[in-house]
Each structure stands twice: as C-alpha cells, then as structure tokens.
Amino acid sequence: MTKSLQDKVIIVTGAGRGIGREIALLCAAEGAKVVVNDPGGAADGAGSNAAPAEEVVEEIKKRGGTAVANFESVAEAIPASKIVKTATDHFGRLDGVVNNAGILRDMIFHKMSVEAFEAVIKVHLMGSFYVSHAAARIFREQESGSFVHFTSTSGLIGNFGQANYAAAKLGIVGLSKSIALDMGRFNVRSNCVSPFAWTRMIGTIPTETEAEKARVEKIKQMGPEKIAPLCGYLLGDSAKDVTGQIFGVRMNEIFLFSQNRPIRSVQRSEGWTPQSIAEHGMPALKGSFYKLDRSADIFTWDPV
C-alpha cells in the first residue's frame, strides 16, 4: 500500500503527548519525516521537560520512521521560527505544519486574570501565526504546502469559563481562512480541525456533579488516536482540493462545520431609528437568534 506522506517533512507542535503525539506517530508511519515539537510544559504551560518530545522521537525510530525533537515554545516569534529551521536544517525542506500546541487557563470571565487571557492567546493564536508565518515563505517558494490548525467547539459553539481559549480558537479559524485565501495561488492549503478526544488538557474539566462525571466518562472513550487520520489526509496530496474548511472528529465521526453567513435580514426604505429597531427590526430577527448553547448541548448523542 502506498504511504500517503512518503518523504514529506511535517512539523507537529505540541507533539509530546495526546493528540499531537498520535499525529506525529501516524505521519511517520505514513512515510513522513517528522519534527516533534514540544517544550514539555504542564497543561497550563508552566515548566519544561525534554522527555515527552524525545520519547515520541524514540518511538518513531523504533517503528522504523524518521524524526527529530524540538523543544522551542510557539508563544514567541523567534523560538517559533526555529521550529521551522529545525525542519529545513535536518531534512532540507518542509511540506506540512500541524499547529496543535496548546495550554488551558480556565476561569469564569469576571475572575479571569489578564495574564491568563494573554498566555492562552499567545500559545494558541499567536503560536499558530508565528509557526505558520515562518513556514509560509518556504511554501511560497516551492509552491506547495499544507497547514492544519486546531480549533475547538469552545469557540465554534461555546463553553463556560473559557473566554481566553474560545477567543483564541475562533481567531485561528479566521487565520486559517486568510491563509487559504492569500496562499491558494501558490498551491498552499489551510484547514482547521476541531477535535473531540480525552487528553491531558481535557482532564482539567470539572467533575463535581454526577452529570459532569458522566460527561467526562463519555469523553474518555474518545482516544486521541482517532484525530490523527484526518490530519494525515489533510497533509497529503490527495487533499489538494481541500482548503479553507473546518472539520470536526468525534471518535469515528467526521464533521464539516458551517461558517458564518447571513441567515436573515430586515430593511426599511426610510432607514432605522433605535425605536423602529426595537419595534420592528429586532422582533423580526429574533426568530433566527442562536441560543447560548454549549458544545454538550449540540453534541447530545454518545460517541460512535
């Protein structure tokens, strides 16, 4: 069987554990040379540890693959650019980037610190930009390349206590769409994946009530290895016509998410006043309002 990523060079950020680890292992199994990036911090980003990235590299080599570890943080521009340099220094080229690195600092909005908001934005949104920006020049010159960015239903739909994470993850959707628009002329693709999987980061979900415990038990059924195949596909040549999309993976289900488009309009030839909006405009639109749903309100069935 032909390997879908034979001889391609792929960067996977946050690849020391969880979803990133599974993507790195799958990419290597599909023939790619992999840069396994992970500074090895805690779920909230604190500290560093070379062991997670090194262990993934050893696992890849043990299975007959090719990989190199990188321990830089994506949260600053210069270190992030060194991740890309690791790929070109070791393997001479770059074909794909998976922006998977992330941290969590959950807190209800009025109690969230500025530092907690900025830290999460830096890793998720700025990190995705920094790594993508460094790779973009290479992709432009060779006129090929694929970006896979990680979004979340926390941003796409909603969740409690995650204003920082939701803002970052919805920002990544805009970033991905802009890359797809700007770089399509160079055969560069950019897509988002929203994962449903039990990982160390999801392990921070509270389990105080019976409903919360039941929800977490369902999530635990969804292993991070289920996310990797779609990412491997999006990085390969068979996805050459797939760009600017938002996908979700939930165990054995793959979703295509909708994107923002107008759904209803009102018009008055004489223009609007605050009063006429109150009396006519808003009541006419109200039937199409979105409820303040959370992810669990939309994905109500068990993982299959």
The pLDDT assigned to 202 comes to 56
The reply to whether 291 falls in a domain is no
C-alpha to C-alpha distances, 40 to 43, 97, 103, 228, 265, nearest whole angstrom: 9, 19, 11, 20, 49
The reply to whether 1 falls in a domain is no
The reply to whether 2 falls in a domain is no
The pLDDT assigned to 199 comes to 57
Considering 130, 165, 233, 290, which one is annotated as catalytic? 165
The reply to whether 28 falls in a domain is yes
The pLDDT assigned to 207 comes to 64
Q: What is the mean pLDDT of each run of 10 residues along the chain (304 residues)?
A: 94 97 98 97 83 97 98 98 98 98 96 98 98 98 98 96 97 98 98 82 63 69 90 98 97 96 97 98 97 91 84
* 165 among known catalytic residues: yes
The pLDDT assigned to 180 comes to 98
The pLDDT assigned to 44 comes to 76
The reply to whether 94 falls in a domain is yes
The reply to whether 137 falls in a domain is yes
The pLDDT assigned to 304 comes to 83
The reply to whether 134 falls in a domain is yes
The pLDDT assigned to 222 comes to 80
The pLDDT assigned to 268 comes to 97
Domain span at 106: 9-256
Q: What is the CATH number of the domain that holds 183?
A: 3.40.50.720
The pLDDT assigned to 209 comes to 79
Q: How many domains does the chain have?
A: 1
The pLDDT assigned to 24 comes to 98
